[in-house]
Protein backbone atom coordinates (compact mmCIF):
# COMPACT_ATOMS: atom_id res chain seq x y z
CA UNK A 1 0.00 0.00 0.00
CA UNK A 2 2.79 2.41 0.95
CA UNK A 3 4.54 1.59 -2.32
CA UNK A 4 1.36 2.50 -4.17
CA UNK A 5 1.14 5.85 -2.45
CA UNK A 6 4.80 6.46 -3.13
CA UNK A 7 4.36 5.61 -6.83
CA UNK A 8 1.35 7.91 -6.96
CA UNK A 9 3.28 10.74 -5.31
CA UNK A 10 6.17 10.31 -7.73
CA UNK A 11 3.72 10.25 -10.65
CA UNK A 12 2.06 13.41 -9.39
CA UNK A 13 5.42 15.12 -9.02
CA UNK A 14 6.37 14.13 -12.56
CA UNK A 15 3.07 15.52 -13.85
CA UNK A 16 3.56 18.77 -12.00
CA UNK A 17 7.14 19.18 -13.08
CA UNK A 18 6.33 18.48 -16.73
CA UNK A 19 3.53 21.04 -16.73
CA UNK A 20 5.78 23.52 -14.96
CA UNK A 21 8.21 23.16 -17.88
CA UNK A 22 6.04 25.45 -20.00
CA UNK A 23 6.77 27.04 -23.36
CA UNK A 24 6.94 30.69 -24.32
CA UNK A 25 5.89 32.52 -27.43
CA UNK A 26 8.80 33.47 -29.69
CA UNK A 27 9.07 35.44 -32.93
CA UNK A 28 11.72 36.43 -35.43
CA UNK A 29 13.63 39.52 -34.31
CA UNK A 30 12.48 41.57 -37.31
CA UNK A 31 8.97 41.79 -35.88
CA UNK A 32 8.68 44.76 -33.62
CA UNK A 33 6.34 43.56 -30.88
CA UNK A 34 6.63 43.17 -27.13
CA UNK A 35 3.33 41.36 -26.67
CA UNK A 36 0.33 39.96 -28.55
CA UNK A 37 -3.24 39.37 -27.40
CA UNK A 38 -4.61 35.86 -27.05
CA UNK A 39 -7.27 36.60 -29.67
CA UNK A 40 -4.63 37.67 -32.17
CA UNK A 41 -2.60 34.54 -31.39
CA UNK A 42 -5.65 32.36 -31.96
CA UNK A 43 -6.17 33.98 -35.38
CA UNK A 44 -2.50 33.44 -36.21
CA UNK A 45 -2.24 29.83 -35.03
CA UNK A 46 -5.55 28.81 -36.59
CA UNK A 47 -4.02 30.14 -39.85
CA UNK A 48 -6.69 32.77 -40.45
CA UNK A 49 -4.39 35.75 -40.09
CA UNK A 50 -1.71 35.70 -42.77
CA UNK A 51 0.15 39.00 -42.48
CA UNK A 52 1.76 41.26 -39.90
CA UNK A 53 0.56 44.88 -39.77
CA UNK A 54 3.58 45.87 -41.91
CA UNK A 55 2.28 43.57 -44.67
CA UNK A 56 4.94 40.88 -44.26
CA UNK A 57 3.78 37.25 -44.34
CA UNK A 58 3.30 35.45 -41.03
CA UNK A 59 5.15 32.11 -40.96
CA UNK A 60 3.72 29.80 -38.32
CA UNK A 61 5.90 27.00 -36.92
CA UNK A 62 4.59 24.20 -34.72
CA UNK A 63 5.76 20.87 -33.33
CA UNK A 64 3.85 17.55 -33.58
CA UNK A 65 0.36 17.28 -32.05
CA UNK A 66 1.54 14.75 -29.48
CA UNK A 67 4.59 16.66 -28.24
CA UNK A 68 4.35 18.13 -24.76
CA UNK A 69 5.46 21.53 -26.10
CA UNK A 70 2.60 21.72 -28.60
CA UNK A 71 0.04 20.46 -26.10
CA UNK A 72 1.25 22.99 -23.54
CA UNK A 73 1.17 25.89 -25.97
CA UNK A 74 -2.27 24.93 -27.34
CA UNK A 75 -3.91 24.43 -23.99
CA UNK A 76 -2.28 27.10 -21.86
CA UNK A 77 -1.53 29.89 -24.30
CA UNK A 78 -4.26 29.51 -26.94
CA UNK A 79 -6.80 27.80 -24.68
CA UNK A 80 -7.71 25.07 -27.19
CA UNK A 81 -6.84 21.38 -27.46
CA UNK A 82 -4.41 20.13 -30.14
CA UNK A 83 -7.21 18.14 -31.83
CA UNK A 84 -9.33 21.28 -32.11
CA UNK A 85 -6.45 23.15 -33.71
CA UNK A 86 -5.83 20.30 -36.15
CA UNK A 87 -9.50 20.30 -37.16
CA UNK A 88 -9.34 24.04 -37.75
CA UNK A 89 -6.29 23.55 -40.02
CA UNK A 90 -8.01 20.71 -41.89
CA UNK A 91 -11.10 22.86 -42.41
CA UNK A 92 -8.90 25.52 -44.01
CA UNK A 93 -6.63 23.22 -46.03
CA UNK A 94 -9.41 21.13 -47.57
CA UNK A 95 -11.79 23.99 -48.35
CA UNK A 96 -9.09 25.91 -50.19
CA UNK A 97 -9.39 28.85 -47.80
CA UNK A 98 -6.09 28.50 -45.99
CA UNK A 99 -2.78 26.72 -45.51
CA UNK A 100 -1.18 24.54 -42.85
CA UNK A 101 1.51 25.69 -40.42
CA UNK A 102 5.06 24.46 -40.95
CA UNK A 103 6.07 21.53 -38.76
CA UNK A 104 9.42 21.16 -37.03
CA UNK A 105 10.53 18.07 -35.13
CA UNK A 106 12.73 19.49 -32.38
CA UNK A 107 13.16 22.66 -30.38
CA UNK A 108 16.60 23.10 -31.95
CA UNK A 109 14.93 23.15 -35.35
CA UNK A 110 12.29 25.55 -34.03
CA UNK A 111 15.00 27.94 -32.78
CA UNK A 112 16.81 27.70 -36.10
CA UNK A 113 13.68 28.44 -38.15
CA UNK A 114 12.33 31.24 -35.97
CA UNK A 115 15.77 32.82 -35.94
CA UNK A 116 16.27 32.61 -39.71
CA UNK A 117 12.78 33.12 -41.17
CA UNK A 118 11.45 36.68 -41.46
CA UNK A 119 7.92 36.92 -40.04
CA UNK A 120 8.27 33.62 -38.14
CA UNK A 121 6.32 32.82 -34.98
CA UNK A 122 6.44 29.73 -32.76
CA UNK A 123 7.18 28.60 -29.23
CA UNK A 124 10.15 27.36 -27.18
CA UNK A 125 10.92 26.19 -23.66
CA UNK A 126 12.60 28.84 -21.56
CA UNK A 127 15.90 26.90 -21.51
CA UNK A 128 16.08 26.94 -25.30
CA UNK A 129 15.43 30.63 -25.84
CA UNK A 130 18.46 32.76 -26.72
CA UNK A 131 19.21 36.10 -28.36
CA UNK A 132 18.51 34.77 -31.87
CA UNK A 133 14.77 35.09 -31.27
CA UNK A 134 12.47 37.51 -29.47
CA UNK A 135 10.40 36.25 -26.55
CA UNK A 136 6.91 37.74 -26.38
CA UNK A 137 4.41 38.03 -23.60
CA UNK A 138 0.74 37.24 -24.06
CA UNK A 139 -1.70 39.95 -23.02
**Which residues contact other proteins (rule: CB under 8 A)?**
38-40, 42-43, 46, 48-51, 53, 55-59, 62, 64-66, 75, 78-84, 86-91, 93-97, 99-104, 109, 113
State the minimum distance, in angstroms, from the CB of residue 84 to other proteins: 7
Return the SS3 of 26. strand
Return the SS3 of 91. helix
Number of alpha carbons in the 13 Å side-chain half-sphere of residue 79? 8
Phi and psi dihedrals of 70, rounded to 5?
-70, -45
State the minimum distance, in angstroms, from the CB of residue 111 to other proteins: 12
State the minimum distance, in angstroms, from the CB of residue 53 to other proteins: 7
Q: Residue 23's CB: how many other CB atoms inside 10 A?
A: 24
Nearer to other proteins, 3 or 96 (CB): 96
Amino acid sequence: MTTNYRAFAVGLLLCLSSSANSVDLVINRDIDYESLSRNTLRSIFSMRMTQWPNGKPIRVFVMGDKTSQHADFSKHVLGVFPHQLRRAWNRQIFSGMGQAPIKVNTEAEMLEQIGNTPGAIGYLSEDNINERVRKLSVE
